[in-house]
Amino acid sequence: MGEEFSRLIAGFRNTLRFMAACGCKGFDTAIDKRRLDQLGKEGSDPTLPGKTMEEIRTDLGDCRRCGLCRYRTNIVFGAGDPRARLVFVGEGPGEDEDLSGEPFVGRAGRLLDRIIDAMKLVRESVYICNIVKCRPPANRTPLPEEIECCVPFLERQIAAVSPDVICTLGATATRSLLKIDAPISRLRGRFHDYRGIRVMPTYHPAYLLRYPERKRETWEDIKMILKVMALI
């Protein structure tokens, strides 16, 4: 009963956050049975399954919900298998991603490709996305209000995929998804829970390019994912 209540509260909180990101400023509290019936039919939690990736992308539209829209060339929605067992979540698009509209295609993306290849998987068999879908200027860390606007769409993507495991790449992705404020060095190496889905935080490929000595730890995290997925 306690867990069910917590899930209901979490769903309601995410609904309010999503509606605020879409520009909702308040509610008409007048009782209208037709309105209540319509809500009951449509549902109100944007993170629940039942929406396809195409529908979520349509809902996102030519997003102008935060200031990042002023700097982007392309929205970087996500790519891969919409029914993947494994989802990778990064921080945000870089220059190469912004130009191409595809996630993880620059130097960090090529390293992620090598990690996926070492897992004996292919890029098309996983799903790859980011916390924010527009490039922050000069590749800075996304601001809290930018994350707040974008995360509801990420949550809907995860709900649509319904993976066995999520691998968060770097501190921003991990903190934004898990709502945990701790260094990635303390969060990696063990599974966390996101709505019943196992989450393995690890270092971002861009960080590994600067500090290659962390690759061994990252591979240990990846091996734990493979074990859970019964691939080793």
- Compute CA distances 179 → 21, 33, 47, 115, 193, whole Å: 18, 36, 16, 26, 11
- Looking at every residue in the chain, the average pLDDT score rounds to 86
Q: Quick one: average pLDDT of 201-229?
A: 98
> SS3 of 224, please?
helix
Question: pLDDT at position 22, please?
Answer: 47
pLDDT at 43: 37
Structure tokens at 199: 């989450």
Checking if the pLDDT of 218 tops 80, the result is yes
User: How large a percentage of the chain has pLDDT more than 90?
Assistant: 77
Residue 114 has a pLDDT of 98
Does the pLDDT value for residue 225 go beyond 60? yes
Instruction: Report the pLDDT value the prediction gives residue 231, as an integer from 0 to 100.
Output: 77
Mean pLDDT of 183-208: 97
Residue 16 has pLDDT above 80, yes or no: no
Helix (H) or strand (E) holding 216: helix 215-228
Instruction: Report the top-level CATH class of 53-229.
Output: alpha beta
Of 191, 151, 182, 184, the closest CA to residue 169 belongs to 184
List the domain boundaries for the chain. Answer: 53-229
What would the pLDDT profile of 99-148 be if each residue is shown by its tens digit?
Answer: 999 999 999 999 999 999 999 999 999 999 999 999 999 999 999 999 99
pLDDT (0 to 100) of residue 73: 98
